[in-house]
Chains A and B, each alone.
Chain A
């Protein structure tokens, strides 16, 4: 095939062949071509799409936006819930609960939000993984990535709880006497 008609050639080597050695020999004999192992090619492709095309920036931007929006939504939900239950928190304070106890209550609510939210998202993701398993560009979800994303969700929800915590730790127990 003429050189100007092809971009890439895939070279398959025998199972017991030394890939690095084959690569060196090919590179020496093909002065106009770049010879890469699978791993090098994968790395180069990833870097190209992530950093040279702008697609990576868009992907990263979307992820950051998702984290910010998600955190704000959880924060607003917890804050509103706390505001709606000020009397209950004042009662807890009146009967002698410590700030630490109330902090645990809010963090438990945040953790429940994280578990529920992550479970729904994981179910959707699992369906997408199955749907795209035979596609040219399948979605991959490794156990490590799943654990990492759950950790990120928990951290997001814990950060989201700060506003609610600020409200309840300043609560005046005398509020219980207000009619």
Chain B
């Protein structure tokens, strides 16, 4: 049975004030369930990243509410929102945002360190996460010694190491070539099969559409399309990416 990880109800987000005010999100209703990889696509300025920020508890919406695993985030202050992120959300960013002075394993462990997990068990969890993304052999490598695709896979390992129930990715393949993009998406799609996790990816990249279980389209701050893909299409998604 699938579980709802994020429930966004009637989300509105206004940015700026007075004449410069922009309604970035308008009446967004959305729920993300475990075991599902959801893509959010839309043109630049349509509100994709703003929606990702709201779902990831980085921005508080000006209207509506967000619930993460049944817990409302309305009215929480910055510290409480940070705790919600720490306990429930894993992020993957377009430009990786790895720490250049830390090794791959240390970058992954950082996500546990901020949660106060510094035991040998934390070290093992980080090793497991790196194994999941196929980078056990690069554990001691610094980011500068890794390719873009490998850096992004380390970022994915950092996002999953804390058993986040929601993985939010912002253009994870935008800075990668086809081969590396496919490698990253294959890893993300595999992780998304876990029914205890919902995966939400903001993208411009049509090559990753075959990996999606569900595709949302956003324009001018409104969801204008919500399409679920069949099991058959999912089965051939890797081939489609290559083409």
B196 at the interface (CB under 8 A from A): no
- Bound CA span A172–B82, Å: 11
Pick the residue among B85, B93, B99 that contacts A96 (CB under 8 A): B85
Q: Is the CB of B97 within 8 A of A91?
A: yes
A98 at the interface (CB under 8 A from B): yes
Q: Is the CB of A94 within 8 A of B114?
A: no
Q: A177-B53, A177-B93 are in contact. Are A101 and B99 (CB under 8 A)?
A: no
Q: Chain B residues near A94 (CB, 8 Å)?
A: 56, 58, 85, 91, 93, 97
A36 at the interface (CB under 8 A from B): no
Min CB distance A175 to B, Å, is 9
Min CB distance A138 to B, Å, is 44
Within 8 A of B (CB), among A4-53: none
Q: Is the CB of A97 within 8 A of B86?
A: yes
Most chain B beta carbons < 10 A, residue from A88, A93, A173, A177: A177
- Bound CA span A78–B53, Å: 29
Q: A173-B58, A176-B97 are in contact. Are A93 and B82 (CB under 8 A)?
A: yes
Q: Which residue of A lies closest to B111 (CB)?
A: A95
Min CB distance B218 to A, Å, is 16
Q: Is the CB of A92 within 8 A of B114?
A: yes
Q: Chain A residues near B111 (CB, 8 Å)?
A: 95-96
Interface, chain B (partner A; CB < 8 A):
49, 52-53, 56, 58-59, 78-79, 82-87, 89-91, 93-95, 97, 99, 110-111, 114-115, 158, 170
